[in-house]
Structure 1
Amino acid sequence: MQRHITSLGYDVWAAVETAYTFATSPKTSDKKKAYECDAKASNAICCGLSNDVLVKVMDCKNAKAIWDKLSSIYKGDDKVKEAKLQTFRARFESLKMTKDEKIADFFLRISEIVNSIRGLGETLEEKVVVKKVLRSLTPKYDSKVSALEERDLNKLTIDEMHGVLTAYEMRISEDIQPSKETAFKTHKKDNDSELDKPDDETVFISRLKRGSSRYRGKLPFKCFNCGKIGHYAAQCPSK
């Protein structure tokens, strides 16, 4: 929001920082400009609010009053601010990359926590975040972490580390994929071999059809005891 207001002009953001008071005397060119800047700033802020939040600032007389009230709503007083900081600090310290999480998703979580801490006014240095990320990665990145630790971590940026880890993730993913395909093909070949192997009944029937007895070409006799082919129930070995 601050960036958007600043883009409208330096004097527009100055109207947010300095409370505008309506002039009772005849308006000069400077007072008219201050009025216009305050109106632009107020409009820019209100256009970015939802209806539920807009009704909370409708009674504010100028841009600074709107801004201060929104800051109080979202940041709270010093006690609320400190409580929020404690929550985000705990989340930052307990941050760990999950087993199946991608680098992009992990860095997105990091950015959300770090920006929340910095947004509440606390300074969080880049080198602290870098070292925390290296301690929070899963074991499959150990080799790359060792390589990065040989560099000067105080000069390594988050964006640079993000790019290095993303490239490494893509490389190890390409190495794993062929191994999975080879294992699948081997497993499929074994299953096909088992399917191609004839069972005992199939062998018996084929031999019977090749024989010269009067049963050739006809269905063979079947045991009513075990369900197998080639003997009667009275002669069943499973009886």
Structure 2
Amino acid sequence: MASNNTSALSTPVFNGENYQVWAVKMKAYLRGLGLWQWVETERQIEPLGNNPTLNQIGAHEEEEAKTPRALSYIHAAVSEPIFTRIMACETPKEAWDKLKEMYLGSDRTRQMQILNLKRQFEVLRMKDNEFIKEYVDKLMEVVNKIRLLGEELTNQRVVEKVLVSLPERFESKISSLENSKDLTKISLAELVHAFQAQEQRRSMRQEESNEEAFLALQKRKASQGRDKKQSGEKKR
């Protein structure tokens, strides 16, 4: 039985954009209501036996109500123009599959999309002027698109991709991590934090170096000023 908290949540509404995101939200919503299995497959309800009890009759009626209930939730989760395109569907699975075909395309189309995204994933490299978080955010945008299309891409694969696509300035840190941690088990967040710490240390050293250079320049200018003053006094 669905919890009251789940029932109180507002239904995610699909207006024709970002189908993959809506589908993930809607699937979770229907699961919370205990209805996703009635969308995922065509459910056949077993007929009641002879002389059923009141409890059996009630349970049977509840099971029978789940198919139209799931369909009504899908109807409520799409805008009116989209509803008119699925209103002839008689089961929630039929409506769900039609939406999937309309906005995600055929299996062949999805495979082409996945292939193109995988190519983007493989060729991505961190630029010398990028910060690690900027690069990982860009990489994860591609990763999430792949996952939304139903393709598995493990966190370990993403970690490996990050490690092999960083600029040379991270090589010493990668070597340090290889010696101190099991990189087959490290999380992406842990990896990013380690590289961010290195970036912060490098930034602090650069600031200190710039400050020292500035002070040295000021000292040199002051010394040159004194030399000029002394030279002028001698000429007089």
Q: With structure 1 as the length reference, what TM-score do the two structures score?
A: 0.65
Distance, in Å, in 2 between the alignment partners of 1:3 and 1:29 is: 21
Of the candidates 16, 24, 34, which is equivalent to residue 10 of structure 1? 34
Q: Is the 8 A contact 2:67 2:92 kept in 1?
A: no
Q: Which has the higher contact order (CA 8 A, sep 6+)?
A: 2
Deviation at 1:160, TM superposition (A): 2.1
SS in 1 for 2:84: coil
Deviation at 1:146, TM superposition (A): 0.8
Task: Tell me how large the CA RMSD over aligned residues is.
Answer: 3.2
Q: Tell me the residue number matched to 1:23.
A: none
Q: Is the 8 A contact 2:38 2:70 kept in 1?
A: yes
Of the candidates 194, 199, 206, which is equivalent to residue 169 of structure 1? 199
Deviations along 1:80-104, one digit per CA (max 9) or x if unpaired, are 1121122111111111111121121
Q: Tell me the residue number matched to 2:148.
A: 119
Distance, in Å, in 2 between the alignment partners of 1:190 and 1:97 is: 40
% identity of equivalent residues:
29
Equivalent residue pairs, number: 189
- Higher helix proportion (structure 1 or 2): 2
Distance, in Å, in 2 between the alignment partners of 1:119 and 1:29 is: 33
Distance, in Å, in 2 between the alignment partners of 1:55 and 1:72 is: 16
Of the candidates 71, 86, 105, which is equivalent to residue 38 of structure 1? 71
Of the candidates 175, 184, 187, which is equivalent to residue 154 of structure 1? 184
Deviation at 1:63, TM superposition (A): 4.0
SS in 1 for 2:213: helix
Distance, in Å, in 1 between the alignment partners of 2:194 and 2:171 is: 13
Distance, in Å, in 2 between the alignment partners of 1:109 and 1:118 is: 15
Letter in 2 for 1:78: D
Deviations along 1:76-129, one digit per CA (max 9) or x if unpaired, are 112211211221111111111111211211111121112222222332233322
Distance, in Å, in 2 between the alignment partners of 1:106 and 1:70 is: 34
Q: Tell me the residue number matched to 1:80.
A: 109
Q: Tell me the residue number matched to 2:85.
A: 59
Deviation at 1:18, TM superposition (A): 4.3
Distance, in Å, in 2 between the alignment partners of 1:68 and 1:193 is: 80
Letter in 1 for 2:111: E
Deviations along 1:150-178, one digit per CA (max 9) or x if unpaired, are 33322222222122222222222222221
Q: Is the 8 A contact 2:70 2:92 kept in 1?
A: no
For structure 1, the residue ranges without an aligned partner over 5 or more in a row are 21-27, 208-239
Distance, in Å, in 1 between the alignment partners of 2:132 and 2:209 is: 22
Distance, in Å, in 1 between the alignment partners of 2:93 and 2:34 is: 15
Letter in 2 for 1:38: L
Q: Is the 8 A contact 2:86 2:99 kept in 1?
A: no
For structure 2, the residue ranges without an aligned partner over 5 or more in a row are 1-24, 44-60
SS in 2 for 1:100: coil
CA shift in 2, pair 1:174/1:4, >3 Å: farther
CA shift in 2, pair 1:73/1:198, >3 Å: farther
CA shift in 2, pair 1:72/1:161, >3 Å: same
Deviation at 1:40, TM superposition (A): 2.5
Distance, in Å, in 1 between the alignment partners of 2:67 and 2:99 is: 22
